[in-house]
Structure 1
Amino acid sequence: MLGGMEVLVRPDPALWLFLPPRRRRARFAVPYDGEASLGHVVRAIGVPPTEIGPPVVDGRPCGTGRRLADGSVVDLAPPDRPQPLPDGARFLLDVHLGSLARRLRLLGVDTAYDTHAEDAELVERAGRERRVLLTQDRGLLMRRALWAGAYVRGHGADAQQADVLDRFAPPLAPWTRCTACNGELVDVPKEEVVGLLEPGTRRCYDRFVRCRSCGRVYWRGAHGRGLDAIVEDAVRAVR
């Protein structure tokens, strides 16, 4: 500890999952050199900057670029929910969130997903396309070049979908995006796609939509009830 300086950090319990066990408590002291910014201190204790709202230092809101004084009291809390989406509702998901990507596309949310992208490519694409990077990789969210990001809480698509909808409340347009590629779905006459259909599908269904980007054909089959339930739950969640 340089010069014996320190600051007192008081994290909201919702942030404890980012902290090492010894710091998962209402307050703890952090050594401070007098030069580092508040943002550096937040990163140093393990909390991605994307996961905090405006910090409060000695009772006053401030930015993460602020320098601290010896003995400063820093209060950290998650962003308010719903959190406004910069540049509209556009997301980019990392390789581990494929099920969530398909869910968001089902709901009509603009969702990019690439199974082969490296971390640096994800960060670059998020900035270039002005997308919020969704991930459970804390290291990705620590990168200074990241334009916007968020940690997805929960295990499994149901819990992760609920977290994203609760945090951002994106506008939904169910059944308008291709779950495979994120392209726009449009109605298509049956005769235009009949050659792509299995005999049973040709006999039983008459309404079809097709992706403008990849050409995939969709219809309301036996799995429709399960998808309807997902959509209904999501619509109720963002009302």
Structure 2
Amino acid sequence: MAKQKQAVFRFYAELNDFLPGPLRQRDQVYHFWGNPAVKDAIEALGVPHPEVDLILVNQRSVDFAYRLQDGDRVAVYPVFELLDIQTVTRLRPEPLRRVKFILDCNLGKLARKLRMLGFDCLYQNNYQDEEIVQIALKERRIILTRDVGLLKNRAVTHGYWVRSTRPPAQVKEVLQKFDLFRRIQPFSRCLECNGVIEPVDKGDVEDALPQRVRQTFNTFYRCKRCKKIYWQGSHHEPPV
């Protein structure tokens, strides 16, 4: 009779967010039959693969296809967006230096706030999971989600599970995770459709403005896509 095998796993840094409290920051034994891929073992333990960027087995860098052996010691590290680890085996394509996002149905408020800061964010409250994955792959977008299961789709290459449940904290979390503070360009994206906002002459939009706005403001912007008009403060007021 075949003997059940085991390997010892240790997850580092924020990967512990996916583990039950008693298993965080400590070794855990994984029992298995045959020789499963290390990727499958990692996800069976609760960690989605897009959050992983480095695996060391017995202190040697391996990729997701590595087949577990009895007695292996496996160290799993999170995505290093800010560090150079070129000398070891990266598990994803290179980081997306032109940062674009697609958000799931749970993150509408976050999408709006990131657009306000100038980030390209696709969001619809009726996106299906498979649609999100396909758009992300086609347009090289990073998936932001509150659904760990979405990130376990084997086709996903770039994704992040947003830990916080409060939109202001979510914004800070995403900015820190992807080192975006220097890329903020406030009020350059339409809050409604994600289109690019550009300056427009007052005379070109005057007929569409409320009387109060026409009398008070002289500087205006218009979304190139949906044609909504913005003026000073209108990202905090309903646009035309």
For the superposition of Structure 1 and Structure 2, which TM-score range results when normalised by the shorter chain? Answer: 0.7 to 0.9
Equivalence for 1:101: 111
Equivalence for 2:135: 125
Q: 1:221 to 1:14 in 2, by over 3 A?
A: closer
User: Greater strand percent: which structure?
Assistant: 2
Checking the alignment, whether the CA contact within 8 Å between 2:101 and 2:122 is kept in structure 1 is: yes
Query: What residue identity is the alignment partner of 2:44?
Result: A
Query: What residue identity is the alignment partner of 1:197?
Result: L
Query: What residue identity is the alignment partner of 1:94?
Result: D
Query: What residue identity is the alignment partner of 1:188?
Result: V
Equivalence for 2:53: 53
> Given the alignment, which residue of 195, 209, 218 partners 1:206?
218
Equivalence for 1:153: 163
Name which of structure 1's ranges 78-87 and 130-139 shifts more when overlaid on structure 2. Answer: 78-87
Q: What is the TM-score normalised by the length of structure 2?
A: 0.86
Checking the alignment, whether the CA contact within 8 Å between 1:130 and 1:147 is kept in structure 2 is: no
Equivalence for 2:90: none
Q: How far did residue 158 of structure 1 move?
A: 1.7
Q: 1:131 to 1:145 in 2, by over 3 A?
A: same
> Given the alignment, which residue of 147, 162, 178 partners 1:137?
147
Query: What residue identity is the alignment partner of 2:48?
Result: P
Q: How far did residue 87 of structure 1 move?
A: 6.0
Checking the alignment, whether the CA contact within 8 Å between 1:87 and 1:130 is kept in structure 2 is: no
User: Greater helix percent: which structure?
Assistant: 1
Could you give the per-residue CA deviations for residues 139-178 of structure 1, whole angstroms, max 9, x where no partner exists? 0000012232111121222211111111212433222111
Checking the alignment, whether the CA contact within 8 Å between 1:105 and 1:177 is kept in structure 2 is: yes
Checking the alignment, whether the CA contact within 8 Å between 1:85 and 1:168 is kept in structure 2 is: no
Q: 1:150 to 1:102 in 2, by over 3 A?
A: same
Q: What is the TM-score normalised by the length of structure 1?
A: 0.86
Q: Which runs of 5+ in 2 are unaligned?
A: 84-93
Q: Which runs of 5+ in 1 are unaligned?
A: 225-239
Equivalence for 2:209: 197
Provide the secondary structure at the position in 2 that maps to 1:99.
helix
Provide the secondary structure at the position in 1 that maps to 2:232.
coil
Q: How does 1:1-239 map to 2 (within 5 A)?
A: 3-82=3-82, 85-86=95-96, 88-170=98-180, 171-221=183-233
Query: What residue identity is the alignment partner of 2:135?
Result: R
Q: How far did residue 221 of structure 1 move?
A: 2.4
Provide the secondary structure at the position in 1 that maps to 2:78.
coil
Name the % identity.
Answer: 34
Query: What residue identity is the alignment partner of 2:228?
Result: R
Q: How far did residue 4 of structure 1 move?
A: 2.3
Query: What residue identity is the alignment partner of 1:159?
Result: A
Q: How far did residue 82 of structure 1 move?
A: 3.1
Query: What residue identity is the alignment partner of 2:231?
Result: W
Query: What residue identity is the alignment partner of 1:60?
Result: R
Query: What residue identity is the alignment partner of 2:30?
Result: V
- Give distance in 1, aligned partners of 2:99 and 2:234: 30
Equivalence for 1:229: none
- Give distance in 1, aligned partners of 2:234 and 2:41: 53
Checking the alignment, whether the CA contact within 8 Å between 1:55 and 1:61 is kept in structure 2 is: yes
Query: What residue identity is the alignment partner of 1:207?
Result: T
Equivalence for 2:87: none
Q: How far did residue 20 of structure 1 move?
A: 3.2
Could you give the per-residue CA deviations for residues 187-235 of structure 1, whole angstroms, max 9, x where no partner exists? 11112212222222111111000001001111112876xxxxxxxxxxx
- Give distance in 2, aligned partners of 1:177 and 1:13: 33
